[in-house]
Amino acid sequence: MRSELGNEITKLRRAGITPGLAVVLVGDNPASQVYVRMKGKACDEAGLYHETIKLPTDTSEADLMALLERLNANPEIHGILVQLPLPRQIDSNRALHRIDPRKDVDGFHPENVGKVVVGDPTGFRPATPYGVQQLLIRTGVDTKGADAVVVGRSNVVGRPMAALLLQDGPGGNATVTVCHSRTRHIEQHTRQADILIVAIGKPEFVTGDMVKPGAVVIDVGVNRVDDPSRKQGYRLVGDVKFQEAKQVASAITPVPGGVGPMTITMLLYNTVQAARQWARG
């Protein structure tokens, strides 16, 4: 997919347009720093212009808002991403809503949320659920008429994932159930899933006996668990108990290395889409 994107970036550059992405990092959260580095590396490899703007932890909300306004007005920047989480003194929703929706490549602005729900292709789909949908499409998983169960209802993954699976077209037309912390007998729902997408933020929450034989399992979770046998003292696991679930599933994504690379790929796709739409006026 990145190779395909490279061809489109080459065409845009020949037309005098270099897609540009600005990533804003407030504070020194270690995980956020890793994500931001990976995004910058991916931009370099793809040939995108990018800026990473690092601000101290005590940055005021007013200063962040002023920076976002400058980026909104910068013609070299087609996409703006504010890395979450933000420090407590900054209202995340206010910051995300200050980004020009035409540059909101994370897809969190209410205008883009609405466009995704109604199937407007000019809206930016959040990168993680967009990546999951492309993963299904590119590996030949037929979603049409399938029972899809999404575990988790966050605005970042669960809700937009359900909206994408419901849409008419490739990677859509599924019958969708969304489970969450108030769902009764959640295992009864997960065992019915032809496609099970888990994004609940609980380490190894879904066990093998919760998976329907032959199901496709997409694990969106990334959790640190203590592991004294590892040099760093921890290991990364998903929201699914991988070793158990893989004995039952027909296909399953690993953690790390499954959904994560797709998320970064779709961020690049959204930035190129933003540049293309900007060029059209």
Residues acting as catalytic residues:
39, 83, 106
Residue 90 corresponds to which tokens in the numbers above?
């900054």
The residue ranges of DSSP E strands in 66-220, in sequence order, are: 79-82, 147-151, 175-179, 195-198, 216-219
Q: What's the rounded Cα separation, in Å, for the pair 48 and 50?
A: 6
Beta bridge partners of 225: 235
* DSSP structural state of residue 90: S
Please give the DSSP secondary-structure letter assigned to residue 177: E
Strands 234-237 and 223-226: antiparallel
Reduced to 3 states (helix: H, G, I; strand: E, B; else coil), residue 24 is strand
CA angle (220, 226, 229) in 5-degree steps: 115
Whole-angstrom Cα distance, residue 274 to residue 267?
11
CA distances from 189 to 7, 41, 147, 233, 249 (A): 42, 39, 10, 35, 16
Strand partners of residue 198: 151, 219
CB atoms inside a 10 Å sphere around CB 106 = 23
Beta bridge partners of 52: 23
Q: Which residues contact 52 (CB under 8 A, 6 or more apart)?
A: 22, 23, 25, 36, 40
